[in-house]
């Protein structure tokens, strides 16, 4: 194992610094991943801030956590937002935020209502009321994008499942 367990990643980590329980610990996750092949569900809580870039052994902890998430996806064990995101891009050519959030809600992923409301206020401010509630339209590139997806997906066999884990993952993390 390249990692010599100095813990710089954990000391620099945005999430670990908020997590009073101490459960979110990239150093430990990396140790268990390389020594025992263990995947930690907590990898979904990585904030993608890349603060762990300062690894003296150049392990790229952010890339190790990304690989864990990729393995979870291949096992059909990803949070619902992954499926919602991928399907939205595949069908619309882009991440239409309305489609994405509707898909998320359908899969039982409850968004924080205070955020949903102020985000809606934002959308109305940005787009005007009429456009804020307009139906989503496929991007002109949607056909090409869908084709790219199906050609490559035909050669692999990853099946996305919409399993909502957001609450169980978060329950292990930062106290409200």
CB 55 within 8 A of CB 61: yes
- Region 49-88 residues binding another protein, contact defined as CB under 8 A: 49-51, 53, 60, 62, 66, 69-70, 73, 79, 81-82, 85-86
Residue 20 as a binder of another protein (CB under 8 A): the answer is: no
- Distance between CA atoms of 43 and 40, rounded to whole angstroms? 6
How far the first Cα of the chain sits from its last, in Å, is: 36
Quick one: which segment of 3-11, 28-36, 41-49 binds another protein (CB under 8 A)?
Answer: 41-49
Residue 38: CB minimum distance to another protein, A: 18
Select 36 or 115, whichever has its Cβ closest to another protein: 115
User: Taking phi first (over 0 means left), then psi (-120 to 50 degrees means alpha), and beta for anything else, what does residue 57 get?
Assistant: alpha
Residue 44 as a binder of another protein (CB under 8 A): the answer is: yes
Among 6, 18, 75, 133, binds another protein (CB under 8 A): 18
Residue 33 as a binder of another protein (CB under 8 A): the answer is: no
- Distance between CA atoms of 90 and 153, rounded to whole angstroms? 11
Evaluate the CA torsion angle 82, 86, 87, 89 in order and state its sign: positive
- Region 122-151 residues binding another protein, contact defined as CB under 8 A: 122-123, 126-127, 139-141, 144-145, 147-149, 151
Which H/E stretch holds residue 167?
Answer: helix 166-171
Taking residue 84's Cβ as centre, other Cβ atoms within 10 Å add up to 23
Residue 141: CB minimum distance to another protein, A: 5
Q: Please enumerate in sequence order all residues whose Cβ is within 8 A of that of 118, keeping only pairs 6 or more positions apart, or say none.
A: none
Contact footprint for another protein (CB under 8 A):
14-15, 18, 44-51, 53, 60, 62, 66, 69-70, 73, 79, 81-82, 85-86, 89, 93-98, 104, 109, 111-112, 115, 118-119, 122-123, 126-127, 139-141, 144-145, 147-149, 151-153, 155-156, 158, 160, 166, 169-170, 173-176
């Amino acid at each position: 194992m390249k990692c010599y367990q100095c813990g710089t990643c954990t000391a620099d980590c945005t999430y670990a610094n908020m997590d009073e329980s101490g459960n979110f610990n990239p150093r430990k996750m990396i140790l268990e991943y390389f020594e025992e092949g263990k995947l930690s569900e907590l990898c979904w809580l990585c904030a993608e801030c890349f603060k762990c870039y300062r690894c003296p052994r150049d392990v790229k902890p952010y890339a190790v956590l990304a690989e864990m998430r990729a393995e979870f996806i291949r096992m059909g064990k990803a949070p619902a937002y992954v499926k919602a995101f991928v399907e939205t891009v595949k069908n619309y050519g882009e991440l239409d935020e309305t489609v994405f959030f509707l898909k998320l809600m359908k899969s039982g992923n409850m968004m924080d209502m205070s955020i949903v409301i102020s985000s809606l206020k934002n959308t109305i401010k940005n787009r005007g009321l009429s456009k804020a509630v307009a139906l989503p339209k496929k991007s002109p590139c949607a056909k090409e994008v869908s084709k790219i997806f199906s050609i490559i997906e035909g050669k692999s066999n990853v099946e996305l499942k919409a399993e909502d884990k957001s609450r169980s993952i978060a329950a292990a993390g930062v106290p409200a």
